């Protein structure tokens, strides 16, 4: 199956291109951003060698559906989606922090907890918790936005403000929006029989100074989901939770002795493993949206994307 690894488009009035871990962003006349979701897969801040069929389409379509489902509570950057892999929106100046919010002690929080840490980003975690237990209330554990090639790093609210990364007034807005989005995401997930465990949000400012939600929202790359059915029984038995997220990729990498650390080698990913990951992404799409996934035509995927974007720009 054809996948998107890199793009090299040249649109009218194009000013610049930014290539992230999985998205490529085109600046049009310093007014619009065209965000192309590739099929690249990243974990532990490393882009893996093989692409995952339909992953970009899945991420883009979940993110745009969730933007639309939360636009009444938090303004966002999105204007149009002219192609299954493309979102077009307002040019924004991004805040250099990711707003991570956790309803459960899972993933990175659980790994920190296991080594004895009880403070994460300045927020206390109660003694005696078991992995995947629910926090008494969601906690916000921000991370600094890494430059390309570097790891994101945990940071406290106090340090963000003290270092001038975000002003106190703006940070209060980011906190308010983060909590509102997580509450809405939790409601949406519950209707689908899922638990929104944790997620991250990114924000930016438009040219007129308005704070808006940018990037992606509630996708398997940015969020962790558990199946609600049987959650408590699994906790009571000390069993792993049944989940839909990119965590299964991380666990496969950990089992193959890779966590993105110096000297570690990315394990070989078989064609069977690539298709398994693709199927897991489709499974999450169908669970979180409640819709059957419609595979786009990938016979000439780059030409399709370029034509759809150019038609929109005209």
Q: Tell me the mean pLDDT in the region 12-19.
A: 94
Q: In percent, how much of the chain has pLDDT > 90?
A: 79
pLDDT for residue 147 is more than 70: no
Q: Does pLDDT of 245 surpass 90? A: no
pLDDT of residue 187: 97
Question: Residue 152: what pLDDT?
Answer: 76
Continuous H helices in 13-87: 55-70
Q: Which has more confidence, 145 or 78?
A: 78
- Contact in structure between 239 and 17 (CB atoms under 8 Å): no
CB atoms near residue 91 (< 10 Å): 17
Buried b (16+ CB within 10 A) or exposed e, 238-261: eeebebbbbbebbebbeeeebeee
Q: What is the pLDDT of residues 83-137, one digit of tens each?
A: 999 999 999 999 999 999 999 999 899 999 999 999 999 999 999 999 999 999 9
Model confidence pLDDT, tens digit, residues 24-69 = 999 999 999 999 999 999 888 888 989 999 999 999 999 999 999 9
pTM: 0.89
pLDDT digits (tens, 9 = 90+) for 60-78: 999 999 999 999 999 999 9
Q: Is the dihedral of CA 83, 243, 76, 6 positive or negative?
A: negative
Which domains can be identified in the chain, with CATH numbers? 94-245 (3.30.470.20)
Q: Average pLDDT of the chain?
A: 93
Split at pLDDT 50, 70, 90, the class of 221 is confident
Alpha carbon 106 to chain centroid distance? 16
């Amino acid at each position: 199956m054809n996948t998107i690894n890199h793009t090299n488009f040249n649109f009218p009035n194009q000013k610049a291109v930014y290539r992230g871990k999985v998205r490529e962003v085109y600046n049009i006349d310093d007014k619009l951003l065209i965000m192309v979701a590739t099929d690249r897969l990243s974990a532990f801040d490393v882009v893996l060698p093989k692409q995952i069929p339909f992953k970009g389409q899945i991420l883009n379509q979940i993110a745009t559906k969730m933007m639309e489902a939360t636009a009444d509570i938090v303004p966002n950057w999105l204007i149009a989606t002219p192609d299954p892999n493309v979102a077009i929106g307002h040019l924004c100046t991004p805040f250099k922090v990711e707003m991570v919010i956790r309803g459960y002690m899972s993933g990175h929080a659980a790994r920190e907890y296991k080594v004895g840490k009880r403070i994460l980003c300045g927020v206390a975690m109660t003694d005696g918790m078991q992995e995947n237990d629910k926090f008494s209330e969601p906690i916000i554990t921000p991370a600094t936005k890494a430059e390309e090639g570097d790891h994101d790093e945990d940071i406290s609210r106090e340090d963000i403000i003290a270092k001038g990364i975000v002003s106190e007034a703006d940070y209060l807005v980011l906190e308010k929006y983060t909590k509102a989005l997580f509450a809405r995401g939790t409601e949406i997930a519950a209707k689908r029989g899922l638990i929104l465990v944790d997620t991250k949000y990114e924000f930016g400012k438009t040219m007129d100074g308005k704070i808006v939600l940018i990037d992606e929202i509630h996708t398997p790359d940015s969020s962790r989901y558990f199946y609600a059915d049987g959650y408590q029984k699994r906790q009571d038995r000390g069993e792993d939770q049944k989940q839909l997220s990119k965590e299964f990729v991380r666990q496969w990498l950990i089992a193959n002795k890779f966590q993105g650390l110096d000297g570690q080698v990315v394990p070989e990913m078989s064609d069977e493993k690539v298709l398994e990951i693709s199927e897991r992404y489709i499974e999450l799409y169908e669970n979180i949206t409640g819709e059957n996934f419609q595979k786009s035509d990938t016979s000439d995927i780059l030409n399709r994307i370029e034509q759809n974007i150019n038609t929109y720009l005209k």
